[in-house]
Structure 1
């Protein structure tokens, strides 16, 4: 046994004592390859295993290394099948590094890989229109929505489309925090002219996470002048935020006004059908296969965050690969229990009672057959909430309300449309939902 193998064997033994689950599920089949000064190279079965280990278990690995060696090591995970790591490495070898050039775009974000559903259809159409005719429609384009709904994906898809169809077009994607850090560095190093030129000479500027402007007066000032320069020159600006411009704390009125000069669109959480389509798309792109009941389980449990959806998928596939087992529904429930938030177990009766109380009507009226508008809307909201907040099938929901599954689908689709179009309806659904879930 080589020195590096001996070190890793002792580290794994220590990890097994600290976290039996981490060892048996993910680390038992890893292999130490080489130790370069302070860098330990370790082989793992797949890239997604490396991602998961780094996200979940790096701290326990570092602790075990300190216990064994009395000092820290930097861990690099390999999954490319090579027998030896490179002599010098400045990046994590396991990462399938997306090609980034001066545009700072990731090639994996395209319109083709974006799954369109009822909650993002308008934003997707607007993004396509901007990509096909920069600065001629919707300038600026402001996309807002909660974390993990696809804002960055759509924004970079615009950049990648323009880069492919308009060679030589000057494009830059940047998170607002990076913009701020570069601005501070430019002030400290007396390179503000170069900094301003870098941003103000672009033909397409994509700014992510504009909500970072909150409570930053100097940053808002620089964004204001950059915006004016680009807009006056007829250049396209695209921005994203986790909230609408008017809801960003302390955002200057002049910026709020300018952000509304073009088009402001929002992204809503994907419905069940879209969540299933997202999982299937990810599986198709990466050549993965999971049983349909497992796909449905993930989609029914993770309702608001696409990144979490994909994270659950990666977790299961990594577990299957490391342990050489098939993923069943029982395996999925056990392995994902720490990733899926377990809310209260709601029943149809509880949801109907809450909806009836909100609208001031009887529970019997909601379950009845009368089609009066005063009753039909609450009934449809109740069916929608049962679908969103429970694991009941459409057939079960229909039976609970004396309807068939097609009526349930129609009612849920109607409520989804109202949530997008009517603030009053959206507030009612959110209020009832929060009352049920706490």
Structure 2
């Protein structure tokens, strides 16, 4: 059956999610698939159940349903599950050297625009709304009233995304437009090369043919008098010809250590700053990134990251990538506790304390069953007294059954003792509750996420 599935799934995803899986049996049309870790269960149910059923039915038309069960004995057990890496080796492709630049027909060298940078996937918030709107306006009408466009802001706030996204948007509308994206450093290198080869006239002529010139990090032109002079003349020629110029820097024009005649030209156009994203914007960025990665991370975890990673977008993405690595490489669901540990490790200040990320990371210990009941009651907003009481209202019955399930399946507490903890209930009642939750977890991804989140917060699973 793996042979049927492998061609339909990207190899990296296939290895991640089907490693150490096995067929455990078939009963009354139900094919039982064993998974090595609890963390893989909800992903299989949400993304691969239908595909697996289709593959199974192609081999055996009597299969009517896929049922998953977690069997930790499958992990790294070659007697029970196939070696998927050996069975499906990576097909080596001839490597083609990657290109970061392109030489245009006019002879100008431009950096290749990243196609993933689009105005549509740029998360807008209070700190960048004006800049994004200005870029949209420029994309609709290059060389119009927002010329030049000057964006400024700190490191990692999205300036490069907006610059390249604007270039991409212009090219989508006008594919024949000569859009050149470069950095001030590369522009300087081209000037130096042209001077050395005595080809300044050709250099100037080439840049006069550009329709849209995008220069990133213009602050690095400081103390480069000849380059500033050439850029000044290039800027003037393009501006007078109604060609669009887009510039970025880490500070406003008035604070740049550049010639006054340059900064006055920058101030002639539209100036927009990009400031540190607020909480809502940071959370929206994380949600969008998680959607792109096609993984599930609990909202409380994303909220925790957004609340404490306040420097810039790069910091957000760096922490999120660590969480994704936990999920994909170690098959561990990120929790508030694990993210707090990651943030503490990434903190460069050796004297910093765990409180800097708002969460202490004490030594792990096994919780008591009383603590399990308290955690469940808090999660579902019901009291412990209600959980152990006689009410059979669903809002109370479900947390009661989940607490019994965790106590039995994760802590190994006997049915009899659990019954005693829940108002001296009969052990058969506990058995029935545990088995019900086991069945529900097979078909309800949301319930599975809730139970796994509780287990991780209690340090009952990694």
Q: TM-score range by the shorter chain?
A: 0.5 to 0.7
Instruction: Provide the rounded CA distance (Å) in 1 between the counterparts of 2:96 and 2:168.
Output: 28
Name the residue aligned to 1:238: 246
Task: Name the counterpart of 1:64.
Answer: none
Deviation of 1:341 after TM superposition, in Å, equals 5.8
Q: How does 1:266-277 map to 2 (within 5 A)?
A: 266-277=273-284
SS of residue matched to 2:345: coil
Unaligned runs of 5+ in 2: 1-18, 20-87, 105-109, 360-462
Query: 5 Å matches for 1:247-266?
Result: 247-249=255-257, 251-266=258-273
Aligned to 1:173: 181
Within a 5 Å distance, the mapping from 1:326-345 to structure 2 comes to: 326-340=333-347
User: Can you list the C-alpha shifts for 1:322-369, whole angstroms capped at 9, x where unaligned?
Assistant: 22222122221223323246697799xxxxxxxxxxxxxxxxxxxxxx
Residues 339, 150 of structure 1: CA spacing in aligned structure 2 closer, same or farther, 3 A cutoff? Answer: same
Is the Cα–Cα contact under 8 Å of residues 344 and 357 in structure 2 kept in the other structure?
A: no
Per-residue displacement from partner, 1:371-396 (whole Å, max 9, x unpaired)?
A: xxxxxxxxxxxxxxxxxx9859xxxx
SS in 1 for 2:276: coil
Partner of 1:154: 162
Matches of 1:88 and 1:153, distance apart in 2? 28
Alignment of 1:139-218 (within 5 A): 139-218=147-226
**How far apart are the structure 2 equivalents of 1:346 and 1:289?**
26
- The 2-side partners of 1:98 and 1:274 are apart by 30
Change (3 A) 1:278 1:88: closer
Residue 236 of structure 2 is aligned to residue 228 of structure 1: yes
Contact 1:126 1:138 in 2 (8 A): yes
- Tell me the residue number matched to 1:419: none
Distance in 2 between residues matched to 1:215 and 1:144, nearest whole Å: 20
Classify the secondary structure of the residue corresponding to 2:248. Answer: strand
Contact 1:109 1:154 in 2 (8 A): yes
Shift of 1:185: 1.6
Q: Which residue number corresponds to residue 319 of structure 1?
A: 326
User: Which runs of 5 or more residues in structure 1 are unaligned?
Assistant: 1-28, 30-80, 92-96, 348-388, 393-438
Tell me how large the CA RMSD over aligned residues is: 2.7
8 Å CA contact 1:140, 1:239 repeated in 2 = yes
SS of residue matched to 1:293: helix
The answer (yes or no) to whether the contact 1:200–1:229 under 8 Å persists in 2 is yes
Q: 1:100 to 1:317 in 2, by over 3 A?
A: farther
Query: Which residue is 1:62 aligned to?
Result: none
1:113, CA displacement in angstroms? 1.0
Offset at residue 194 of structure 1 (A): 3.1
Relative to the length of structure 1, the TM-score reads 0.56
- Partner SS, residue 238 of structure 1: strand
Partner of 1:289: 296
Match of 2:310 in 1: 303
Q: Is the 8 A contact 1:99 1:106 kept in 2?
A: no
Helix, strand or coil at the partner of 2:311: coil
How far apart are the structure 2 equivalents of 1:89 and 1:162? 29
> 1:51 matched to which residue of 2?
none
Query: 1:99 Cα shift?
Result: 10
Between 196-205 and 110-119, the greater mean CA deviation after superposition: 196-205
2: CA distance, partners of 1:258 / 1:192: 23
In the aligned structure 2, how far is the partner of 1:291 from the partner of 1:114? 22
Partners of 2:142 and 2:95 lie apart in 1 by 42
Structure 1 residue matching 2:247: 3-state secondary structure: strand
Give the whole-Å Cα distance in 1 for the aligned partners of 2:100 and 2:320. Answer: 20
Q: Which has the larger radius of gyration?
A: 2
Match of 1:278 among 285, 296, 303: 285
Q: TM-score, normalised by structure 2?
A: 0.54
Contact 2:344 2:354 in 1 (8 A): no
Give the Cα separation in 2 of the matches to 1:345 and 1:338: 11
**Equivalent pair of 1:98/1:106 in contact (CA under 8 Å):** no
Please state how far the C-alpha of 1:248 moved relative to its aligned partner. Answer: 1.2
How far the C-alpha of 1:115 sits from its partner, in A, is 0.3
110, 127, 142: which is aligned to 1:134?
142
Q: Secondary structure at the match of 1:337?
A: helix
Q: After TM superposition, give the deviation of residue 289 of structure 1 in Å.
A: 2.0
